Chain A
């Protein structure tokens, strides 16, 4: 009945009406009465006009109207108010609840902060999982778009994408999947009309791909089959955004020529806004493939996709492909013996979570994260319980005046729900802002983010958060309420007369305190450790000025898979040309007036490939335990290894601390000189006698023989500082630098260009120009300043740090508040006893001692359990966090928690001692 109203607008209208109904309940009842009366009057008048006597008319009108009360009841139900009537929730409860929130600001604040953080984390994770588990293509019948891949039965996780021959066959024969298409992604230099050069992502796609997407261009035409011919002129289809940005929305764009890579292309069409098919693309060129160029099983790798034919299911298509695959395996055992085609949802390759195991694990993680809220809520419940205990008198009076238990519980639930709903709203807001930030960051940092990934607020997410709020409300409100309104109601009345509060707690209470302290002691060190790590890494800065450096990966446009016959020759020529062009580019850069220096490495300094490292035993110092352990493989120590230009250290102004820098001779083949950083020298070698020591890199085990693969021995000739990232307290990864010259460099280098006066960002355009001038095929990937790269790398860390700090603080706050509440409550409970003992002449010091003895025992027991758990977990995880701060973290946290507990005892204990014995006695 309600499809005319958009779901959100409809929901809003309902909530508004409900809100209105709850707030102005009496007014609405009155209006309903008035409306009914008006109706009856009009009807009566009508009937009188038709000739009935007034009395009879009135009777008839009432008769026709039907039973007024049941209509009213139905009307309330229509407004959604009946549910509230059933729950016995009234506006009064809401008002009372709000008043309670304001009356106990400390409790409200602690509860809302704690629950907000927990809900924000739960919601954020839920949004992420929804995105991963349920990615739907935002296309017409997007769920019917599928991909086909050849899966190797021996290694199913690693599909064989070099299936050109199979693709041609599938295209001809497969009936259950239509418009079978292929695409592969590449990057090309685009020269804009104003001469600016930019590296853009290009989809090389068969023309049929546009028919799979079912999206038509807004200008011109899509790619057509003729464009795929080898001799067809080069054409390109561009995205609406590129048309606007680079060509100022030129209406005559179709037919214009642009340089894309090494060739001029004619623009033939413009796709509509936000069209990014197949993944995140804005430029489309035809995919030209000739199976005749390649042997079976050879050729370029590409992604195959299509649409399920009408009425065919995924399983149906799979059945057809399986049959075909078996036939191929029999016909071409050499290449196809182990290959089986699989039909998969289109998004499978990007979000590989269709395996039930992974999905289950994600759901499990989500459940665990939801449990965080349960923990927090349980803590809040303890606080609320303590408060409820002080209200037993009020509750008893209300019961005596006729309020049912359900009524009282409902009121307490509403109070709790107000807190949890506030937290849910705040948590949802935090989650929404964070998700938006993540999305914005990802779009900025990764231009290849699939177009269907959109971690936003969904209806499901909001429902999940409301569910969390209700759950928290139940834990916080209902559980303490049930206990408080239990069998001891009568006692409550008695208490009211004596003016004290006395809820029986005993062993449960002690257990709660011990558990609370134990959890805090066990969990906090880890949280602090993770937060500390993230903060340090997130704030680390290099010794050089990162804004002076431009970095980029240098590659060259190439034929991905040259025809089999020419492949070897092509590779040789390609590498030679790459080195030649890279040399020219570096020379040109160094000649630029604004450039201080240009250098290269396999990775930008600070990055590298992690290797396990073996250190040659030092004959002079046999028995050096740590190095020996490393050598024997008992300690898994390693380093980031990076091959660098022999000039790199001088371009970065890095001093050599000991030994020498690289020399020209080090770049020659057969050289075994390496330079290590201070961290490596100190941590792996133990500081002194570093020069001349020999190390070798371990490349893991050979999968077949199981043998450990070791590189040659390398001699340390120099030590440099840790110039890439200085972490203050504690260094991170040790680093090894190997020398490299352009002559022996791989065709995939990282450039580092130092610009005078710190204006590196401004030089990036010029750098692209020079590169394009050297060779239009030269490509600069991820060109940005080192400062930007660092910001991007640290972005996630900063958020992790922020999140961990928020969680840590809220856990700490809650534990502290919980312990405080429990401790002070224990003391309050013994007030009378203390007063009486004082009256009987007990020594105040002894009284105090007895109070603290009990609290101390509980706290100590909790701390001991927490310490044991923490140590056990640390052992199980192989050590690390707890020893990181010299083993001080755990005892410090334990001391802090116990300190809070003792402080919490102090106040109430002093109040207890101040009780006048006469008062205490009178209370009895």
Chain B
């Protein structure tokens, strides 16, 4: 099973959805996009990406299609489905709520209690 020590459990799917939502992209592209956006802070074990991609495809939130990559090779491209867009929206909102809540807790001072 993938080693997700660097990521919070459950966040890989969200990251992939976000990366795929930014435009059609192949598997390696998803990886680069995440590393690039996070400025290298989030690193994904590369092979673990694919089971997650297949799982999301299986759930119907992303779909794939074979095409030609920039270097003229056959590659599988992923894109978000309508259900995926909905799910991404919900996950983003719930993630923000979590972050705010965590921030509120962690910044609490003795005076506030």
Contact = CB atoms under 8 A, between A and B. Distances in A.
A77 interface: yes
A469 B60 CA distance: 26
Interface string B66-109: 10010101111000000110111111000000000000000000
A41 B54 CA distance: 20
Contacts of A65: 46-47
B87 A2 contact: yes
A42 B51 contact: no
Interface string A205-227: 00000000000000000000000
A595 B54 CA distance: 76
B24 to A, nearest CB: 15
Given A38-B73, A38-B75, A71-B48, A79 B27 contact: no
A64 B2 CA distance: 12
A interface, size bucket: 35 or more
B7 interface: no
Given A4-B83, A31-B76, A38-B75, A67 B47 contact: yes
A74 B10 contact: no
Contact of B50 (A9, A10, A35): A35
Contact of B73 (A1, A4, A41): A41
A3 interface: yes
A17 B58 contact: yes
B82 to A, nearest CB: 9
A14 B1 contact: no
Nearest to A17: B58
Nearest to B73: A38
A80 interface: yes
A16 B48 CA distance: 24
Interface of B: 1-2, 10, 13, 26-28, 45-48, 50-52, 54-55, 57-61, 66, 69, 71, 73-76, 83-84, 86-91
A355 interface: no
The 8 closest A-B pairs by CB, nearest first: A4-B87, A13-B60, A78-B55, A74-B51, A66-B47, A71-B47, A78-B54, A5-B83
Contact of B46 (A12, A31, A45, A66): A66
B84 A4 contact: yes
Contacts of A75: 50-51, 54
A1 B58 contact: no
A626 interface: no
Contacts of A77: 51
Contact of A10 (B10, B27, B60, B74): B60
Contact of B47 (A16, A68, A80): A68
Interface in A51-80: 64-68, 70-71, 74-75, 77-80
30 contacts: A4-B83, A4-B88, A4-B89, A4-B91, A5-B83, A13-B58, A13-B60, A14-B58, A17-B58, A18-B58, A31-B66, A36-B47, A39-B27, A39-B50, A41-B73, A42-B69, A43-B28, A43-B46, A65-B46, A66-B45, A68-B47, A70-B47, A71-B47, A71-B48, A74-B2, A75-B54, A78-B52, A78-B54, A79-B54, A79-B57
A36 B76 CA distance: 10
A68 B47 CA distance: 7
B58 A80 contact: yes
B28 to A, nearest CB: 5
B47 A10 contact: no
A301 to B, nearest CB: 49
A2 B84 CA distance: 10
Interface in A71-130: 71, 74-75, 77-80
Q: Which of B10, B13, B51 has the most CB of A within 10 A?
A: B51
Interface of A: 1-6, 9-10, 12-14, 16-18, 31-32, 34-36, 38-39, 41-43, 45, 64-68, 70-71, 74-75, 77-80
B46 A4 contact: no
| Chain A contact residues, majority secondary structure | helix
Contacts of B69: 38, 42
Contacts of A5: 59-61, 83, 86-87
Contacts of A16: 60
Contacts of A2: 59, 87
A18 B69 CA distance: 27
| Chain B contact residues, majority secondary structure | helix
Contact of A38 (B28, B48, B83): B28
Given A3-B87, A13-B58, A77-B51, 19 more contacts: A2-B59, A4-B61, A4-B83, A4-B84, A5-B60, A5-B83, A10-B60, A13-B59, A14-B58, A17-B57, A17-B60, A35-B76, A36-B47, A38-B28, A38-B69, A39-B28, A70-B1, A78-B55, A78-B58
B86 A4 contact: yes
A42 B49 CA distance: 15
Nearest to B2: A74
Nearest to B52: A78
Contacts of B50: 32, 35-36, 39, 71, 74-75
Nearest to B29: A42
Contacts of B26: 35, 38
A383 to B, nearest CB: 38
A923 B90 CA distance: 73
A421 B70 CA distance: 47
A4 B92 CA distance: 11
A276 B87 CA distance: 34
Q: Which of A43, A45, A67 has the most CB of B within 10 A?
A: A43
A914 B54 CA distance: 62
A11 B29 CA distance: 29
Nearest to A9: B83
A41 B26 CA distance: 13
Contacts of B87: 2-5
Given A65-B47, A67-B47, A42 B83 contact: no
Nearest to B43: A64
